[in-house]
Amino acid sequence: MQVLILDNIEKSCGEFLARNGFVVTEKLKLSKDELKSIIGEYDVLLVRSATKVTADIIEAGKKLKLIGRAGAGVDNIDIEAATRQGVIVMNTPGGNTISAAEHTCGMILSVARLIPQAHAETKRGLWDKKKWMGRELEGKVLAIIGLGKIGREVALRMQAFGMQIVGYDPMLPAEVASKSGIILLPLEENFRKADFITIHTPLNEATRNLICAKTIALMKDGVRIVNCARGGIIHEADLAKALKSGKVAAAALDVFDVEPITPENPLLNCENAILTPHIAASTVEAQEKVAIQIAEQIVEWKNTHKLIGAVNASVAELAQHSDVQAFLLLAKKLGSMQAKLLTGKPKSLCVTYSGDFLRKFGEAITAAVLKGYLSAFESNGINYINVFSKAQDLGIRVEQCREKENPNYTSLVRVDYETDMGKRTLSGIVLDNKAPRIVQVDSFDCEFKPEGTILIYTNDDKPGVLSSVVSVLHHRNINIANVSLSRNEEKTMALTLVGIDGDLDSVTLEQIAKVEGVYNPRLLKI
């Protein structure tokens, strides 16, 4: 596999990959056009935060299978575009935790005492002790917005200074926060109570401009704010106004909406703003950790398909469980059969899974059905990462339903598929020997193996129909492997499935369609 490494990632990363059979190319400071011109040659792209991996770059990466981020944040990577292309995005969330937490603590100390500003004036020969009157940390309230690994490490360290820690994170259980000595509060209550605020959330629609004029107005006069997470979480113009008015006593930022910071950034004109050039993770130890960590994750993916640190592959991870493989095979066969049984423009697909075992694998089962269906039309590039996006592009409404239990089967997968030309239902089970079986076609109960070449049709439930079909096959020298029959409760219509050896041409299929009492014969190759 060909790997392209950008952004000055530690050499240990490339060396480890090379020792494990990858062909590694390292390039620094490529322009966007230069990257687009060569990305098509590579299977894996590795970046830090400097390179913006946009949708057009991902689209140009025709061989691209994985984008690795040596670090935690992935906002420089278009996750949606990668997912649509079926490209795994992988990060190393824990590798720079300590470095980022320590830098945050340094920034908190700096905004408390304005240490960098006092240092700069002293270096210029000035000596104004009164100007640099600071605040103690002991007894002050520190609000931590985002209590992931970094946020909790910051809490641990600042408790040593005697700070009271409050925080907000909707994903953190109250008992975990309590064990860490953190009081969970609603977001606005954090803003109202805090003497110091530090941000540790990802950048997304919910957090963009989280700190702005509206939320700053809720804060105490003289509050101090730190952001070592992601640029864009703070509205920089609003913060600059608050710094100049004194509403915010001081702020320390390591990240910015536009990086490198531009001369027009209003924070550059705020004497009480401390600014560093996105260096929270820039320690020898952190860069070595994330470089080795991302390399190890990629080698593990190559050797075992295990996805460690993947941010857009939860379904693919579910699909790796060995005990669900037989059901995934069944689901793919159900999807493939639906694609061949119905014509017309696809409208909707509903996957219902019943039984306790399938409950936790529901999304993977649905993805497998889609994978089987879509692969009937597009043989390349369909995987567990992009199937939902591909279905959306085709205008297919996908529903997932869970049935607590089925009266006849412990675990059952049912697929209801609709196009503008009709509807069909297929249901299947997995036997104890891990063999898939189809047990329902539309309103007919049945049991047959979904494999090989199968002739399927409905017919009048009367003598002679099957023998007439068998006669057509006999004259064409087509051998019958097995037959499955079912009929409705009224005993007026039947479903017939004939497994055959070899193939069946269109002329023979037309002859079967002309047999009296046979309706809509179709050929399934599974």
Question: Is residue 244 domain-shared with residue 102, that is, in the same domain?
Answer: yes
Active site residue 230: yes
105 falls within a domain: yes
281 falls within a domain: no
Question: Is residue 443 domain-shared with residue 466, that is, in the same domain?
Answer: no
Question: Is residue 190 domain-shared with residue 305, that is, in the same domain?
Answer: no
Give the Cα separation of 526 and 329 in Å (integer). Answer: 11
pLDDT of residue 320: 87
Three-class DSSP category at 247? coil
Q: Is the pLDDT of residue 489 over 70?
A: yes
Sheet containing strand 164-168, strands side by side: 183-184, 164-168, 141-145, 196-199, 223-227, 248-253, 273-275
214 falls within a domain: yes
Last residue of a domain, one of 423, 451, 479: 451
pLDDT of residue 93: 79
Strands (E), 35-182: 44-47, 66-69, 88-91, 141-145, 164-168
pLDDT digits (tens, 9 = 90+) for 318-330: 888 888 999 999 9
- Give the tokens for residue 502: 């070899």
Q: Is the pLDDT of residue 50 over 90?
A: no
Question: Is residue 56 domain-shared with residue 193, that is, in the same domain?
Answer: no
Candidate list 136, 188, 259, 399, residue with the active-site label: 259
113 falls within a domain: yes
Q: Which domain holds residue 322?
A: 313-451
How many domains are contained in the chain?
Answer: 4
485 falls within a domain: yes
Active site residue 278: yes
Question: Is residue 337 domain-shared with residue 358, that is, in the same domain?
Answer: yes
**For residue 427, what is the domain's CATH number?**
3.30.1330.90
Candidate list 200, 230, 235, 414, residue with the active-site label: 230
- What are the Cα distances from residue 387, in Å, to 21, 84, 100, 260, 311? 30, 8, 36, 37, 16
Give 8 or 122, the one with higher predicted confidence.
Answer: 122
* Mean of pLDDT over the chain: 94
304 falls within a domain: yes
pLDDT of residue 442: 94
pLDDT digits (tens, 9 = 90+) for 361-409: 999 999 999 999 998 887 667 899 999 998 998 899 999 999 888 888 9
Active site residue 474: no
**For residue 491, what is the domain's CATH number?**
3.30.70.260
**For residue 172, what is the domain's CATH number?**
3.40.50.720
Q: Which long-range contacts (CB under 8 A, 24 or more apart) does 51-55 make?
A: 51/6, 51/7, 51/76, 52/76, 53/77, 53/78, 53/82, 54/78, 54/81, 55/80, 55/81
Question: Is residue 308 domain-shared with residue 355, that is, in the same domain?
Answer: no
pLDDT of residue 379: 64
As a whole number, mean pLDDT of residues 140-161 equals: 97
Question: Is residue 367 domain-shared with residue 511, that is, in the same domain?
Answer: no
pLDDT band at 71 (very low <50, low <70, confident <90, very high): confident
Candidate list 152, 200, 235, 278, residue with the active-site label: 278
280 falls within a domain: no
Question: Is residue 297 domain-shared with residue 181, that is, in the same domain?
Answer: no
Question: Is residue 83 domain-shared with residue 33, that is, in the same domain?
Answer: yes
As a whole number, mean pLDDT of residues 220-246 equals: 97
